[in-house]
Structure formats: C-alpha cells, structure tokens
Structure 1
Amino acid sequence: MTKRGAGVAFIAISAFLISSKYISASIFGSGVLSWDKSLYEAMLYYVGDTLSNFSLLAFIIGLAYIVWGEFEDWKSKNNNN
C-alpha cells in the first residue's frame, strides 16, 4: 500500500469514527418518545468525546500520509530532471 492509499484509509477511518459517534447517540436515545435539540446534545455528551478525538487523530495522520506521499513523488520527479 502506498502512502497515499494509507492516507485515504486513515481519512475513511476518521469518517467512520465521527459518524459512529452520532449513530451511537441516536441508538442510545431510540427509546425516547419525544426528541429535541437539548436532549440530543445530552445524548452526545453521554457518548463522550473519545470518538471525536480518535477521528481527529486519524484525519491528521491520513492528511500527513497524503502530504508525505505527494512530497516524495514531487521530490523524485525533480531529481530526475
């Protein structure tokens, strides 16, 4: 797997983690009879920030891998000229 592929994989993991936070909050509150904004925010608070933190970390790692892969490609093209 190339560095670009690894970067895209980490960004996909990031998207999965952030979406699982909101899905978890929705599943947690699935038995509630009435919904409002403050109730959903309370459910998100109950789920916590761990998934958001790991999602941000995976996104930064993925972005770094993509930039690293592009830099190496640019460097190899400039060395050939």
Structure 2
Amino acid sequence: MNKRGAGVIFIVISAILICSKYIAAAIFGSNVNTWDEEMFQYMLSYIGSTLNTLSICALLIGIAYICWAEYEGIKSKKSI
C-alpha cells in the first residue's frame, strides 16, 4: 500500500470514530422520553473525550501521510 492509500484509510478511521461518538450517545439516550439539545450534550459528555482525541490523531496522521506522498511525488518529478 502506498502512502496516499494509508492517509485515506487514516482519514476514514477518523470519520468512523467521530460517528461512533454520536451513535454511542444516541444509544445511551435511547430510553429517554423527551429529547433536547441540553440532554444530548449531557449524553455526549458522558461518552467522554477519548474518541475525539483518537479521531484527531488519526486525522492528523492521515493528512501527514498524504502530504508526505505529495512531497515525494513533487521531489521525484524535480529530480528527473
């Protein structure tokens, strides 16, 4: 697998982690009879910040891999 593919996979992992945070909060509040924004924010805070941290790390790694691949591509074209 090349660096661009790895970068895209890390970005997809980041998106999945963000989605799983919101899905987990929705599942946590599935027994609640009334929904409002304050209640959903409480459910999100109950989930914690671990998924945010991991998704940001995966996003930054993905962007770094894509930038690294583009830099090597430009560098190899200049040397030809």
Q: Which residue of 2 aligns with 1:48?
A: 48
Gaps of 5+ in 2: none
Give me the identity figure in percent.
Answer: 56
- After TM superposition, the runs of 4+ consecutive aligned structure 1 residues lying more than 3 A away are none
Gaps of 5+ in 1: none
One-letter identity of the residue aligned with 1:59: L
Q: Which residue of 2 aligns with 1:4?
A: 4
Superposed displacement of residue 34, structure 1: 0.4
Q: Aligned pair count? A: 80
RMSD value over aligned CA atoms?
0.3
TM normalised by structure 1 equals: 0.98
One-letter identity of the residue aligned with 1:71: Y
One-letter identity of the residue aligned with 2:4: R
Inter-partner Cα distance in structure 1 for 2:30 and 2:69? 43
Q: Which residue of 2 aligns with 1:17?
A: 17
